[in-house]
DNA sequence: GTCTATAGGTAGATAGAC
DNA sequence: GTCTATCTACCTATAGAC
């Protein structure tokens, strides 16, 4: 064990907050998971809100930043879609509980929280990709789809199976490992689906 | 006002629970929204958990039941997809906060809660639709897509924009009314998208 | 059925010894 | 930096008057 106490707390907090959400999380439980004393949580992070922000901001960045990178890259459209879906699904497979956590808190914390987040962080920016789609349509190389909805479709198909995972997993009656393998094979399925949908 | 106290409580509980989630909801706030005394909540529903179950079960049914109806209907595949997307989006537009509430609690309450729900309620059953897709593929009338992923794609594109609504709405910088109108026009967009994706 | 008052328990946060 | 003990506030739930 060479991890600092601060790291132990952050790891434990990430685990408990992502599973239970802000309101249902108990500082005592974070301390238990971290294997340290409850008082130390306040020594390092002052209060529950600040500890939460530390966990949430990191989780949110992990999504927003990667999105912008790929969206703004200099690549042909089909390659870009393929690269995005592949990379984004990899992030989700590695962190299957994160999307529901982030979406969750955004829903519950209210508009002020979301606005504050948008000002503070560089927000996800789909405009480069949307512009590229428009150009391809004008050039007649893809079908005339609404670019906004196309991006929304792509994001939906990637993220939703993770957010609604308990439901789908219960319906399909498969264990965790099998479900994640399904998500692995889903990458190519989404890419093909989008490709077929927008080809002329 | 001819609504019974019990109904007033249920309406208020639905509003507060869906907005804040189980853990962050205060019985006092439900009483305030309902305009009644806090003690009455316990008189009618005994405790917070039972009141929650009353709200949750109704919300969950609203989704699961309608899904099964359309999935099992005797219709050609394309018509069925069109009918499903149209009807499902209508439910979502009328209850934009419900999907995130349901998904949310399913994520946080743990496996026991989900299992209990699956035994108690007739769970969503995609098999009729999946079987129909397989037949169309064998008949060569649509492209050979994985039926499971096709259903998942359809559900994702419908539901995700509502679950991730605060995020998308903040990015698109539109007000509530505009966003819901976007969802209205999205119905046809999804139908066309799926149609193009699976046509031979 | 509806209200007030309060019991009983728990959670976040602080004080202070080591 | 880390621990124990405790304060204060709040929340669910109940008891009991009306």
Nucleotide nearest A29, from its CA to each C1': C11
How far apart (Å, rounded) are the C-alpha atoms in residues B193 and A135?
19
Mean pLDDT of chain A: 96
pLDDT at B63: 81
Q: Which of B17, B19, B63, B160 to probe by mutation at the A interface, max A CB count within 10 Å?
A: B160
Residues A154/A81, Cβ–Cβ less than 8 Å: yes
Q: Are residues A84 and A168 in the same domain?
A: yes
Give the three-state DSSP class for A52: helix
Q: Is the dihedral of CA B17, B18, B24, B30 positive or negative?
A: negative
Interval B32-57 mean pLDDT: 98
CATH code, domain with A71:
1.10.357.10
Domain-terminating residue out of A10, A30, A46 = A46
| Residue B199 dihedral angles phi and psi, to the nearest 5° | -65, 150
Instruction: Determine the Cα–Cα distance for residues A40 and B155; give it in Å rounded to an integer.
Output: 44
The DSSP element (H or E) to which A100 belongs, if any, is: helix A98-109
- The pLDDT tens digits of the residues spanning A77-122 come to 999 999 999 999 999 999 999 999 999 999 999 999 999 999 988 8
Residue A39 is part of a domain; what is its CATH number? 1.10.10.60
Boundary residue ending a domain (B12, B30, B46): B46
Q: Which residue has the higher pLDDT, A67 or A158?
A: A158
Give the structural domain span for B12: 1-46
Q: Are residues B38 and B64 in the same domain?
A: no
Whether residues A31 and A84 share a domain: the answer is no
Contact B122, B68 (CB under 8 A): yes
pLDDT at B52 over 90: yes
- Measured at the CA of B136, the angle between CA B133 and CA B140, to 5 degrees, comes to 140
What are the tens digits of pLDDT across the range B72-106?
Answer: 999 999 999 999 999 999 999 999 999 999 999 99
Q: Is B187 in the same domain as B129?
A: yes
Task: Residue B87: count other Cβ atoms within 10 Å of its Cβ.
Answer: 15
Q: Give the minimum alpha-carbon distance from A67 to chain B in angstroms, rounded to a whole number.
A: 13
What is the per-residue pLDDT across B116-131, written as a single tens digit (0 to 9) for each? 999 988 889 999 999 9
C-alpha angle B160-B161-B167 in degrees, rounded to nearest 5: 110
The 8 Å CB, 24+ separation contacts for B1-7 are B5/B34, B5/B36, B5/B40, B5/B44, B6/B44
- pLDDT attached to residue A63: 81
- What is d(CA A171, CA B123) in angstroms, rounded to the nearest whole number? 7
A1: pLDDT strictly greater than 80: no
Mean pLDDT of A40-45: 98
Do B40 and B68 sit in the same domain of this protein? no
Distance from CA of A9 to the nearest CA of B (A): 21
Phi, psi of B193 (to 5 degrees): -60, -45
Quickly give A48 CA vs D9 C1' distance in Å: 16
Partners of A37 in the beta sheet? none
| Mean pLDDT, rounded, of chain B | 96
Same domain, yes or no: A26 and A110: no
Q: How confident is the model at residue A144 (pLDDT cuts 50, 70, 90)?
A: very high
Look at residues B60, B53, B63, B10 and name the one whose alpha carbon lies nearest to residue B33: B10
Give the Cβ contact number of residue A9 at 10 Å.
24
Q: Given an 8 Å threshold on Cβ–Cβ distance, is B163 in contact with A123? A: no
- Answer for B37: CB within 7 Å of strand D: no
Can you give the pLDDT at residue B13?
98
For B99, residues 6+ apart whose C-beta sits below 8 A from its C-beta are B63, B92, B159, B162, B163
Listed in sequence order, the residues at least 6 apart from B148 whose beta carbon sits closer than 8 Å to its beta carbon are: A172, A182, B126, B130
Residues A37 and A58 in one domain: no
Give the pLDDT band of residue B1 (cuts 50, 70, 90): low
By Cβ distance, the residue of B23, B197, B199 closest to A21 is B23
Cα-based angle A182, A186, A187 (whole degrees, multiple of 5)? 135
For residue A30, give the nearest of A38, A22, A20 by alpha carbon. A38
3-state secondary structure of A175: coil
pTM of the predicted structure, to 2 decimals? 0.96
Classify residue A2 as exposed, middle or buried by CB count within 10 Å of its CB (0-12, 13-18, 19+): exposed
How far apart, in whole angstroms, are the C-alpha atoms of residue A133 and residue A144?
Answer: 9
Pair of tokens at residue A137: 């349509």
Whole-number distance in Å between A26 CA and D12 C1': 17
A21 neighbourhood in chain B, CB within 8 Å: 21, 23, 104, 108
Q: Is the CB of B46 under 7 A from strand D?
A: yes
Tokens 């099992």 found at: B72
B23, B71: one domain: no
Chain A residues in contact with B124 by the CB 8 A cut-off are 167, 171
Alpha carbon separation from B190 to A197, B155, B162 (Å, rounded): 10, 10, 14
**Distance between CA A101 and CA A107 in Å, rounded?**
10
Under 8 Å between Cβ of A85 and A187: yes
Q: With 70 as the cut, is the pLDDT of residue A163 above it?
A: yes
**Cβ neighbour number for residue B111 with a 10 Å cutoff:** 11
Pairs across A and B, CB distance < 8 A: 149
What pLDDT score does A57 carry? 96
- The secondary element (H helix, E strand) that includes residue A142 is none
Strand D close to B27 by CB, under 7 A: yes
Residue B68 and residue B162 in one domain: yes
- Contact yes or no for A30/A40 (Cβ under 8 A): no
Measure CA of the first residue to CA of the last residue in chain A; give whole Å: 58
Q: Please state the domain count of chain A.
A: 2
Q: Which H or E element spans position A134?
A: helix A127-138
Both A108 and A181 in one domain: the answer is: yes
Do residues B86 and B157 both lie within one domain? yes
Shared domain for A123 and A76, answered yes or no, is yes
């Amino acid at each position: 064990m060479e991890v600092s106490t601060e790291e132990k707390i952050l790891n434990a907090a990430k685990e408990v907050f992502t599973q239970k959400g802000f309101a249902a999380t108990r500082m005592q439980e974070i301390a238990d998971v971290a294997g340290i004393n409850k008082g130390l949580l306040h020594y390092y992070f002052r209060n529950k809100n600040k500890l939460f922000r530390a966990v949430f901001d990191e989780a949110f960045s992990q999504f927003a930043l990667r999105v912008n990178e790929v969206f703004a890259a200099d690549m042909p459209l089909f390659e870009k879609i393929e690269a995005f879906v592949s990379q984004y699904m990899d992030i989700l497979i590695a962190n299957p509980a994160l999307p529901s956590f982030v979406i969750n808190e955004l829903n519950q914390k209210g508009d002020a929280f979301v606005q504050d987040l948008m000002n503070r962080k560089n927000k996800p920016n789909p405009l480069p990709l949307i512009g590229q789609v428009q150009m391809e349509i004008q050039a007649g190389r893809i079908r005339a789809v609404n670019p906004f909805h196309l991006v929304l479709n792509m994001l939906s198909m990637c993220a939703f199976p993770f957010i609604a995972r308990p439901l789908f997993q219960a319906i399909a009656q498969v264990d965790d490992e099998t479900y994640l393998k399904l998500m692995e094979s889903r990458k190519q399925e989404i890419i093909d689906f989008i490709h077929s949908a927008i080809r002329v």
